[in-house]
Chains A and B, each alone.
Chain A
Amino acid sequence: MEFIAFIIAIAVSYQALKGYRLTNERTLLYLHLSFLLLGAGLAIDGLANLIVLLVRFHRAFLFLSSLGYSINFVAQLVAYGLLVFAYIQQTRTSVSQVAMAAMPALLFEHNPVTELILLFLLVYIATQTGINYSVNKSAISLFVFGAFVSLVIAHLFFLFFTFSAPVFFALAQIAQLFGFLLLLAMLLRVNHRL
């Protein structure tokens, strides 16, 4: 599932890069870098988990799962942080300044602190996209809003998973994939329209 999300993230990143090359707008550069990082994080995490699965959870390889998660977390932190920064730059109000929590020392496994940080950033982004949809009322802005709401739900499930409820990991993956599929729908609609 993470590989599908990776492909969609790269597609969104490429679309943003094309836009940046045409217009030189910084927000598009941030969008490009954000989704590039998201894609990279997903790919690395997915690959790490795949290797662990292929070696049938051999003890010597279990560290790869933790490493994959930590790289993915840092990538998502920077990616969503960039998006938040892009929105703040656009609105330029002191009310929307976000204080980034200091990174916890232990971020090698799914843990409530890392998930809360990502959740915080995602709720902000989802709110911004929700406001955008309420103004535009277009299908594509609804897809983007829906995508980030799904990612919020995914990270809520990841948070529940950290309290040792394994079923939530699967639900989180499904919600995450659904979010990226909504972004794919947005991309198809944007490119089909013209």
Chain B
Amino acid sequence: MRVIQRESNEAKPTRILYGANLSHDRLVKYLEELKNLGVIQETGSDDKIYSLTQKGIEFLNNFRRVETFASAFGFKI
């Protein structure tokens, strides 16, 4: 999700693959899970392009807040 956001909220699978350092099988599995959770969506007519939904953006913001809070105490998420 962070990779998608870094790419101005539109990323092709290859970009996500290298950015997240995943194998192809894992990438396909995770993308499917994220789509089912409603945090990413597939756009683009010919090429598959993934973008964050509003729910996904909110989730990332909340997750960042939690990460920041935990890191204040020296805990890693």
Give B11-46 as 1s and 0s: 1 = Cβ < 8 Å from A's Cβ atoms.
000000000000000000000000000000000000
- B75 pairs with A86, CB closer than 8 A: yes
**Bound Cα distance A115, B6 (Å):** 50
Which chain B positions have C-beta within 8 A of A27? 70, 75
List A residues 69-88 near B (Cβ within 8 Å): 86-87
Interface of B is mostly: helix
- B63 pairs with A22, CB closer than 8 A: yes
Chain B, Cβ-Cβ closest to A20: B66
- B68 pairs with A193, CB closer than 8 A: yes
**For the complex, is B55 an interface residue (Cβ under 8 Å from A)?**
no
- A129 pairs with B75, CB closer than 8 A: no
Q: Which of B66, B71, B76 contacts A141 (CB 8 A)?
A: B71
- B72 pairs with A25, CB closer than 8 A: no
Which chain A positions have C-beta within 8 A of B75? 25, 27-28, 31, 86, 90
CB<8 Å pairs between A and B, sample of 21 = A18-B62, A19-B65, A25-B75, A27-B70, A28-B66, A28-B70, A28-B75, A28-B77, A31-B73, A31-B75, A129-B74, A132-B71, A132-B73, A140-B68, A141-B71, A141-B73, A144-B72, A144-B74, A187-B69, A193-B65, A194-B64
Which chain A positions have C-beta within 8 A of B54? none
**For the complex, is A186 an interface residue (Cβ under 8 Å from B)?**
yes
With A90-B76, A194-B61 known to touch, is A22 a contact of B71 (CB < 8 Å)?
Answer: no
**Bound Cα distance A18, B72 (Å):** 16
Which chain A positions have C-beta within 8 A of B59? 22
Would you give the shortest CB distance from A80 to chain B, in whole angstroms? 13
Which chain A positions have C-beta within 8 A of B69? 15-16, 19, 140, 187, 190
Give A41-76 as 1s and 0s: 1 = Cβ < 8 Å from B's Cβ atoms.
000000000000000000000000000000000000
